[in-house]
Amino acid sequence: MQALVLESTRFGQLEIPAEAALDFPNGLIGLGGHRYALLARSDESAFVWLHSLEDPALAIPVTVPWRFFPDYEVELSDDEAERLGVTDPEETQVYVTVRAADTLEGFSANLRAPILVVENRGFQVINQAKDAPVRCPLFQPGMSPGSEEQAA
């Protein structure tokens, strides 16, 4: 199994499996580059980093939306799903970008533009669901970092 070397200003030099590289044919909204990898401390991590393989300083936090929003839905047109190669929603990974803040109450997720991963290809799409805001709070006031409570 071949490994890629990821140079990161945040994490130093890392070796990742070649199959962990994700190609974003259309890039990401507002960001450069087309090759990224997901980095996590463990499989149970609430947040992972979507790290550019081309820019050592570009890494954005993402999360699986259902961890915080159990009723979250991604709605795409049939044409969009076909264009992306989404044939089975169960085999599509979904992430949302996270905006960090000084306090937990300031953390938010972008539910309007989720990232879909289909067979090592990533696509940031516009969610057609009505209740999908760009900045949705992740934590309720008074929650502690290890709290298992869900945001409303």
**Distance, CA of 127 to CA of 25 (rounded, Å):** 18
Residue in 27, 112, 17, 24 with CA at minimum distance from that of residue 73: 112
Tell me if residue 17 falls in helix, strand or coil: strand
Q: Which CATH number fits domain 3-137: 2.30.290.10, 3.90.180.10, 3.20.20.70, 3.40.50.970?
A: 2.30.290.10
pTM above 0.75, yes or no: yes
Tell me if residue 79 falls in helix, strand or coil: helix
pLDDT tens series, the chain, 152 aa: 688 899 899 999 999 988 889 999 999 988 888 999 999 878 888 999 999 999 999 999 999 999 999 999 999 988 888 888 888 888 899 999 999 888 888 999 999 999 999 989 999 999 999 889 999 999 876 554 454 444 43
Residue in 73, 45, 68 with CA at minimum distance from that of residue 150: 68
